[in-house]
Amino acid sequence: MKKLLLVFIFIYSSIGLSQEHAWVYLTDKPNSSSALANPNSILTQKALDRKAAHNVAVDFRDVPVDESYITAIKSQPGVSVMAKSKWFNALHVVGDPADINALSTVTVNGNIIVSSIDFADDNLNTRTSQNQDKHEVEASLTTFNYGSAANQIEMINGDDLHQHPDSYTGTGMTIAVLDAGFPDVDTMNGFQRLRDAGGILGGYDFVDRTSDVYIYQGNSHGTWVLSDMAGFIQDQFVGTAPDANYYLFRTENAASETPLEESLWVEAAERADSLGVDVINSSLGYTTYDNPNYSYTPADMDGNTAYITKGANIAFEKGILVVNSAGNSGGGSWQIVGAPADAAGVFSVGAVKPDGTYASFSSQGNSTQPTQKPDVVAQGQASYVILNNDTITTLNGTSFSAPILAGGIVCLWQALPTLSNAEIMQLVRESASQYNAPDNLLGYGIPDLSIALAQGLSIVEFQNQNTTLKIYPNPVKNQLTFEIPSQYEQASVKIYDILGKKVIETTVTSMQQNINTATLAKGVYLVKIEANDLSLTKKIIKN
């Protein structure tokens, strides 16, 4: 794993190369019907409320992996189960390749329970598989006195949300922070305000399987990242979402560089979903591993190959807004955005200097990537953070631009709770400094959350006042129909993919209500309808 502080720290694997990593995909979930009939048995009420608010269905992927299947796999010789995923109905195992392949014959109640096995080392697969990539931890109310943190929040106009008459500071919103550990968060003065407010809802160390996330594991990266959202030192430092609630999940093992951390990340994302988390902030990235047989190539950063990338896309489908650092490879041979920031459903954040110009270490987009990356940028060079001893200092890395913006996005969503994750992402893109001319260095540019809020409020007003507007069918196949309110003669329609690329622009009227969508690829799209001074954005699914 790479960590960008002021320098890069390279980590070496502690797991012997004789032990291989693999994902074991299971055939079914025997009790899925009863679980789905009683969703409160598998999800918290907050999770169900969040899904209902954003029209996200509870489905097979929400059902936990069957415990009898896990027990059966654990009982097999030469294999250790390291992680599990309900979204993929899969187990991450480590062991001898022959023993792992033997799992294909494991049965429960006379039925084969393994549908396929996918080795991290693609050379061991008998078919083309999805390899893993190296994760990289990047480190390079009242009127607030932001102190040292002023420039990084004012750059995105996040302070305007804080100072809004309704005080959008993250209240009622929940963020899961996935990182390498959070030592001293339970004792630091910089988090006293957060603790006093009961803002830390819980945490879990998925690496060591313990609820204590505050143990020092040779790395304080998560503590620094959290400070940019939740830190507070009177008149010296204010994070971008000081009144949000937080779950702290350790998924990164700073002492090793193995594919397991991808699986732990997915486990944590699943936990976040079940707890009703709104936003995930992850300053982790995966490209290459200590064992080169597990490493990705730049061509694998295609938004759908890495296990963690596919997991992040499911998190998006579940209604979570995933904010991930783009990476710190801009000045190296790798150069491009890594996983999971390559995912179409992830809002990836690059880095700029304090003056708003490109930071040379920030990972870049690439023409071979299917979507615009990074999405946007925020201050990541000379970003202010709170260290474990409560000292305020500067560090470099997209590790910090991501949480700085994530906190701001949380405040925006607090102000616009009826909008979906995709709609919030699109608002932020459209507010950015170079939305009409994105590039591979800055993406759509530096967001202006004040503009995003104003636009979002007009969308909500339009939703509330014009209930007769209809868009159907949704999901759509070949033709989308619009019924616009009678007071409008015509409306402009623009359709964007989830990364903000405009794919259709046209006009509908009471006489011409239909748009041909047959040429659109399957996926999630945003439809923006504008009539006179009003606008509305809706999410549709193309089948």
Domains of the chain by residue range: 20-119, 149-460, 469-542
Provide the residue type at 172 as one letter: G
Determine phi and psi for 453, rounding to 5 degrees: -65, -45
Q: Which residues belong to the active site?
A: 179, 221, 399
Question: pLDDT (tens digit, 9 = 90+) per residue, 77-124?
Answer: 999 999 999 999 999 999 999 999 999 999 999 999 999 999 999 999
The alpha carbon torsion through 13, 331, 383, 343 (nearest 10 deg) reads -70
Residue 130 has pLDDT above 50, yes or no: no
CB atoms within 10 A of CB 115: 13
Taking a C-beta distance cutoff of 8 angstroms, is the pair 191, 239 a contact? no
Give the CATH H-level superfamily of domain 469-542. Answer: Macroglobulin (MG2) domain (2.60.40.1930)
Give the pLDDT band of residue 1 (cuts 50, 70, 90). very low
Residue 462 has pLDDT above 70, yes or no: no
Q: Which residue has the tokens 């202006």?
A: 448
Using the 8-state DSSP alphabet, how is residue 240 labeled?
Answer: S
- Quick one: tokens of 95? 């062991």
Which of 22-26, 374-378, 467-471, 507-511 is predicted with the least confidence, judged by mean pLDDT? 467-471
Residue 542 has pLDDT above 90, yes or no: no
What per-residue confidence (pLDDT) applies to 465?
59
Question: pLDDT (tens digit, 9 = 90+) per residue, 217-247?
Answer: 889 999 999 999 999 999 999 999 999 999 9
Distance (Å, whole) CA 284 – CA 490? 46
What per-residue confidence (pLDDT) applies to 152?
98
Q: Which residue has the tokens 């000379």?
A: 382
Distance (Å, whole) CA 45 – CA 421? 19
Question: pLDDT (tens digit, 9 = 90+) per residue, 300-322?
Answer: 999 999 999 999 999 999 999 99
Using the 8-state DSSP alphabet, how is residue 543 labeled?
Answer: -
Taking a C-beta distance cutoff of 8 angstroms, is the pair 296, 305 a contact? yes
What per-residue confidence (pLDDT) applies to 326?
97
Q: From residue 363, how far is each of 139, 145, 180, 194, 377 by CA, in Å? A: 13, 32, 20, 32, 11
What per-residue confidence (pLDDT) applies to 198?
97
Tell me the pLDDT of the chain averaged across its residues. 89
| Domain 149-460 part of CATH 3.40.50.200 | yes
- Quick one: tokens of 243? 């009144």
What per-residue confidence (pLDDT) applies to 464?
61
Range 384-390 average pLDDT: 97
Determine phi and psi for 175, rounding to 5 degrees: -120, 135
What per-residue confidence (pLDDT) applies to 534?
65
What per-residue confidence (pLDDT) applies to 138?
52
Distance (Å, whole) CA 528 – CA 491? 10
What per-residue confidence (pLDDT) applies to 511?
67
Quick check: bond before 475 cis, omega within 30?
yes
Taking a C-beta distance cutoff of 8 angstroms, is the pair 54, 276 a contact? no
Question: pLDDT (tens digit, 9 = 90+) per residue, 34-52?
Answer: 999 999 999 999 999 998 8
Question: pLDDT (tens digit, 9 = 90+) per residue, 134-149?
Answer: 345 555 444 799 999 9
